[in-house]
């Protein structure tokens, strides 16, 4: 169903409060073929990963998944989009500047979203699609690929006061996998954070009645998931000079998985965490998922309590 549903009413601090079941539309950034390859490699699609992440944050959430990259995929249009409490756009292995119908279809769908009264969150590819759909430009980063951990992300002045970063300690590190980044902002965009690799690591776009929050990194990725991406991109990581050989890529992937799944008696895993300078912003889901949690709070807030930001 695609409407907010009241599921629990309880008494708290002298007031009756209502817990609202949120309905979210998850937009898969990859083609069906790419999703099947991810599953065959022992991983999962990015939309399924996001679904699991949202349920971990809010078990009463209700999600639909659409795949606009594929020709003929059924997509909600117009008022049907406004019946969702929020729309989340996943990452993708695509590059927005390629000449590919799978990309054009996603840009068109984002434009359709921008024409409605909707609230959207995008990770990496989702941010890039939003920027291009709104009239900005995305290109390959001359500094190269940012993969594994994006370091020292610092909120801007606007970002420090933006609800995206409520309760977020700064500067912070984040899991990231991207070659491309924003090089020209569209109208209605506000930069919320950046680092030495990409000056735009998060932004907000206001267009018509739509509000988009996007991050260039991947709060939804844990170290296990990014380890599968190391192996997927092992040849590129060697070719781009990120690792000396494929054995080094496999070692990196194994280290990240070991750091994620540390046991109390695994002193070696603790040393790995120290070696890669992995802090709570990477290892603790409460810290890593703060931006998504803040967005869920934003879309769940009754309209009468919303503030202009």
Q: Among this protein's residues, is 124 annotated catalytic?
A: yes
Rounded CA gap, 193 and 157, in Å? 9
* Coil vs helix vs strand at 239: helix
Q: Pick the catalytic residue: 51, 220, 243, 287?
A: 220
Which pair of structure tokens corresponds to residue 8?
A: 């629990």
Pair 60, 21: CB distance under 8 Å: yes
Q: Among this protein's residues, is 220 annotated catalytic?
A: yes
The closest of 6, 291, 308 to 150, measured between CA atoms, is 291
Q: Pick the catalytic residue: 48, 124, 162, 291?
A: 124
Cβ atoms within 10 Å of 34's Cβ, excluding its own: 18
Beta partners for residue 150, in sequence order: 174
Q: Pick the catalytic residue: 162, 218, 287, 291?
A: 218
Residue 75: exposure state from Cβ atoms within 10 A (0-12, 13-18, ≥19): middle
Q: Give CA 41 to chain center in angstroms.
A: 21
Residue with tokens 């008494």: 11
Which pair of structure tokens corresponds to residue 113?
A: 């979203």
Q: Which residues are catalytic?
A: 124, 218, 220
């Amino acid at each position: 169903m695609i409407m907010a549903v009241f599921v629990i009413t309880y008494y708290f601090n002298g007031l009756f409060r209502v817990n609202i079941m949120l309905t979210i539309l998850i937009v898969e950034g990859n083609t069906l073929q790419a999703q099947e390859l991810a599953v065959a490699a022992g991983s999962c699609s990015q939309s399924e990963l996001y679904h699991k992440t949202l349920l971990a944050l809010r078990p009463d959430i209700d999600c639909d998944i659409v795949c606009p990259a594929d020709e003929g995929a059924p997509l909600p249009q117009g008022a049907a989009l406004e019946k969702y409490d929020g729309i989340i756009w996943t990452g993708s292995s695509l590059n927005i500047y390629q000449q590919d119908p799978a990309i054009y279809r996603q840009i068109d769908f984002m434009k359709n979203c921008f024409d409605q009264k909707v609230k959207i969150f995008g990770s990496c590819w989702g941010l890039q699609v939003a920027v291009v759909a709104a009239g900005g430009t995305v290109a390959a980063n001359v500094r190269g690929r940012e993969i594994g951990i994006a370091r020292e992300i610092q909120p801007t002045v606007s970002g420090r006061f933006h609800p995206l970063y409520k309760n977020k300690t700064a500067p912070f590190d984040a899991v990231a996998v991207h070659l491309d980044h924003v090089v020209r902002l569209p109208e209605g965009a506000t930069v919320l954070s950046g680092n030495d690799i990409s000056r735009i690591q998060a932004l907000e776009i206001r267009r018509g009645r739509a509000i988009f929050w996007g991050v260039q990194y991947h709060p939804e990725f844990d170290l296990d998931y990014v380890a599968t991406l190391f192996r997927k991109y092992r040849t590129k990581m060697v070719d781009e000079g990120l690792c000396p050989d494929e054995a080094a890529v496999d070692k990196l992937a194994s280290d990240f998985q070991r750091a994620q799944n540390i046991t109390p008696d695994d002193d070696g895993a603790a040393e790995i965490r120290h070696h890669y300078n992995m802090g709570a912003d990477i290892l603790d889901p409460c810290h890593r998922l703060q931006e998504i949690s803040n967005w869920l709070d934003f879309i769940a807030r009754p309209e009468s309590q919303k503030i202009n930001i």
